[in-house]
Homo-oligomer: A and B are copies of this chain.
């Protein structure tokens, strides 16, 4: 009734900061220069009869290069849910439905990894730093009905003195090869609203994913328009992928956060088994401010190994 699982991801590579003119060769924990952050967790389900199930998931994230736990302890997920014909109700900390849709838009974009340009530098560089997980969250996910599905998140602010609850919504459609979804996330405490449209299509010999995102931001943060595109080609035990991302920020107070960012990434994985992969990745990201000066010009490459257990 309880499954112990996890993943260790480590790589060696180089990060070049062309603005500061520094170059650092290092070992990366997966989340900084690999496929994914290392983790271990506990999960399980219980059949309650009548189609009803209880399920839990507790997932720690850690930096495998130093052995340090990330914070909070169960950063990845800390949830309890009831599932039935009605769908699923989940309580606790877990990814938002908006993040699910962002992940869909990066599904074939350099393995939705630390190399993926959109989420690592381009979108963040231009301001798109939405919360990927909510604490104190109650979620409802519909079953998939005729291909259609929806999900709703509501997170309590737990503050008697203000109204700063967070919420998110997704609507999607999927069949075997194709999926498209729309999501909206409102982080009242920050004054930022995010809207994303994402899709993926697996043509067999290759697969595509894309995402368009708009942030209706606070006066200080300004508004963003962002898009990303990725392609993955399987070749035997190899998987080759490339992605491009672009973002533009405008209307921030006095233009302080206005600017543009773009980046691209290349990656390859080689499956030693279902559970173990070798990989190499390359990412190049440039961020410019309103005056056109580079505030970030970063190049990362690394080779590594990822093992699931």
Contact = CB atoms under 8 A, between A and B. Distances in A.
List of 8 A-B pairs having minimum Cβ-Cβ separation, nearest first = A67-B74, A67-B78, A69-B73, A22-B160, A27-B136, A68-B72, A26-B158, A10-B91
Nearest to A44: B309
A127 to B, nearest CB: 25
A178 interface: no
Interface string A1-45: 110111011101000010000111111000000000000101010
A48 B6 CA distance: 18
A274 B22 CA distance: 54
B54 A307 contact: yes
A77 B10 CA distance: 14
A221 B254 CA distance: 55
Given A27-B138, A64-B92, 20 more contacts: A1-B275, A1-B309, A2-B5, A2-B6, A4-B4, A8-B58, A8-B92, A17-B160, A24-B158, A46-B309, A48-B272, A54-B273, A54-B305, A54-B307, A56-B309, A62-B73, A64-B79, A67-B72, A68-B71, A68-B73
Nearest to A30: B80
B276 A48 contact: yes
13 contacts: A8-B92, A24-B160, A27-B91, A27-B138, A54-B272, A64-B79, A66-B136, A67-B75, A67-B76, A67-B78, A68-B73, A69-B72, A91-B304
A66 B72 contact: yes
A205 interface: no
A93 interface: yes
A307 to B, nearest CB: 5
A233 interface: no
A66 B93 contact: yes
A156 B56 contact: no
Contact of A137 (B5, B27, B62): B27
Given A12-B138, A309-B1, A24 B78 contact: no
B54 A159 contact: no
A52 interface: yes
Interface size bracket, A side: 35 or more
Interface centre among A8, A22, A135, A160 (most CB of B within 10 A): A8
Contacts of A72: 66-69
A276 B54 contact: yes
A88 interface: no
A290 interface: no
Nearest to A42: B40
Interface string A109-134: 00000000000000000000000000
B80 A8 contact: yes
A82 interface: yes
A256 to B, nearest CB: 28
